[in-house]
Each structure stands twice: as structure tokens, then as C-alpha cells.
Chains A and B, each alone.
Chain A
Amino acid sequence: MLRARFLIPLAVFAAFIGILAVGLTLDPREVPSPLINKPAPAFNLPQLAQPDKTISQQDMLGRVWLLNVWASWCVSCREEHSTILELARSGVVPVLGLNYKDERADGLAWLARLGNPYQISAYDRDGRIGIDYGVYGVPETYVIDKAGVIRYKRIGAVTPEVVRDKILPLVKALNGNA
């Protein structure tokens, strides 16, 4: 009886450590997006490479596609770039870019230097469309289905593991049953 009583603080302490340990594995920067399973916000923006042409989310209706928000000033974009390039070159899913709060010349130079994975990049100079998509940390990547509904959002750099475990299975499923 006496011994059990002395074990109580130890148990409380262990529970506390347990909660803190779980807390360490969570990333507070990953805020669940309210946009999942909602239609992708509308945009009609000039293209990065051809300012006189526009691109809209409507143009991609009927296809499963990726929207990758990037900027030449963004360090993590550089980190994920080879992964995005590889994914785009595999031809599994079309990748469109949203060039976010960038200078047109800087963005184009960045693509020329590192390779261009995007079929088209929309040019969001003032970041208004970024706000509509709830962008708060570039890079961000969205998987959008044939009906134009956002199905997945990745905040931060896309890694080969994310492509393998999340993006590819989802794209496959979305292409299969629609």
C-alpha cells in the first residue's frame, strides 16, 4: 500500500514525459489545411514565360495534376527541385508551377539554371493567389483531381519518400476511379 503510493509521482512523471515525447515528433508548422476536399481556388494569371498568355485552374479540368508553389528566393524549393524534376520527367502526372512573389527574370533564370519541371508556371507577383491557396511557407504542393478538387497538400519540400508514399498512390487512385 505504502509502496504503491510512492509510485504515483513516478507514474505521473512518466505520463508527462510520454506526452512531451509525442510533442517532439509533431511539426507545429504543419497546419491542417481547410482546403482539402474543397475546389481549388480560381485563378487566371499571366504565365511566367509568356506574360501575354494566361493560365487558369480551369485549363486543367479533367486531369489529375500537381500545383507546386515555388520561388527563386526559396531555399527549400531548391532542395526539392530534383525530386520535382524527376517526378515531372516520369510523366506520371503533369506538374504546374505557381511562381510566388518573385521577379519574373529571377524565376526564369532559376528555371534555366536548374531545369524546368513545370508544363507552365503561373506568375503570382503580389501573392494574392497564394493567399487564396492558404500558402504560408513556400514550397507547397497540391494534388488536384479531375474535378478540380484539392485532395492533398504538402507543406515544405517534397521528398522522394513523399512522392513514393503519398503522391504517386494518390495520383494512381484518382486516375483509376474517376
Chain B
Amino acid sequence: MRKLLALLFGLILAGSVLAKEAPPAVPDPALEKRTMALAEELRCLVCQNQTIADSHAELAIDLKNQIREKLKAGMSEEQIRQYMVARYGDFVLYNPPVKATTVPLWFGPFALLVAALAGLFYYLRRRRSAAPQPLSEAEQARVQALLDSPEERR
């Protein structure tokens, strides 16, 4: 038993001697940061609603590699964005450009908000103008009669 323990202890020690400090996961952290920043803006077409930064789909990994390669080759972020749009269309951009076809997308929500506010304003104004009218004489008389009537009516 004691021998076994000693052996285990020795193995653990040996392990710590052999262990090295972890190398950085990527050779160039600055490049990686730019790659990931750009990947955050691009939609993964395989698993839509994920960015290619988030996605582990094969295509997303390929595209990340493309971005990295192109940044390394000196292409600007804008050039790479255009490269992606030329292949997959505006749909890849999470931040689509304002164009004739994307106007409803950009301004539709504001139009809805304005319409809803206008409706609310109209409704409130109408409610205020429909404030209670003073009672007519006949109504007044009936109210008085009801108030004056003794409890037998119950």
C-alpha cells in the first residue's frame, strides 16, 4: 500500500515537472481580436440568427479563416465586408445598409411607433371632449326623487 502511494505521489510530481506553461491559443492576439470583431458583424447562413463568431458550423469556421487570412494579407475590414456581401448578399450583414429595399426594415418600427402615438393622442382627446354633460332638469328631478325616496324601495 505504502509503495503504491509512493508511486502515485511520484507520478504526480513527475507530471508537474513535465507540465509547461500553456502557449497562447493564437499566435497573434491582435489579429484574432480584429477577426472576431468582424465575425461578430456577420450572419452565419447555416445557422441563421447566429453570428459567424458564435457559430461552430463548418462554413462559419471556414469564413473565420477567410477573414483572418484576408486581414493578414492587408485587406481592410470594409473590403472584407464587401467580399462577403458579394457572395452572400446584404443578408450576411447584421448591420444592413440603408437602401430602397431595407427602408421598411430601418424605419418600419418608428413608423409603427408614430402611428401608435397618434392613435393614443386621438383617443385621449376624444375622451376628454366627451366629458360628462351637466344633467338636464328632468334628470335632476329624477335623481332628487330617488335620493328623497324612503327605504321602502329596497
Residues of A that sit less than 8 Å from B by CB: 28-29, 31-35, 101, 126-127, 131-137
Contact = CB atoms under 8 A, between A and B. Distances in A.
A28 B85 contact: no
12 contacts: A29-B48, A31-B88, A31-B89, A34-B87, A126-B62, A127-B58, A131-B59, A131-B66, A132-B87, A133-B87, A134-B87, A134-B88
Nearest to A36: B89
Given A132-B87, A134-B87, A31 B45 contact: yes
Interface residues of B, number: 15
Interface in B78-117: 85-91
A136 B87 CA distance: 10
B84 to A, nearest CB: 9
B62 A136 contact: no
A72 to B, nearest CB: 15
Given A31-B89, A136-B59, 20 more contacts: A29-B48, A31-B45, A32-B89, A33-B88, A33-B89, A34-B85, A34-B86, A34-B88, A34-B90, A35-B87, A126-B62, A127-B59, A127-B62, A131-B62, A131-B63, A132-B87, A133-B87, A134-B89, A136-B45, A136-B46
Contacts of B45: 31, 136-137
A132 B62 CA distance: 12
Contacts of A136: 45-46, 59, 88
A35 B45 CA distance: 16
A75 to B, nearest CB: 14
Interface in B14-51: 45-46, 48
A126 B88 CA distance: 18
Contacts of B62: 126-127, 131
Contacts of A29: 48
B119 to A, nearest CB: 10
Given A29-B48, A131-B66, A136-B45, A101 B88 contact: no
Contacts of B63: 131
Contact of A34 (B48, B58, B59, B89): B89
Contacts of B66: 131
Interface in B53-77: 58-59, 62-63, 66
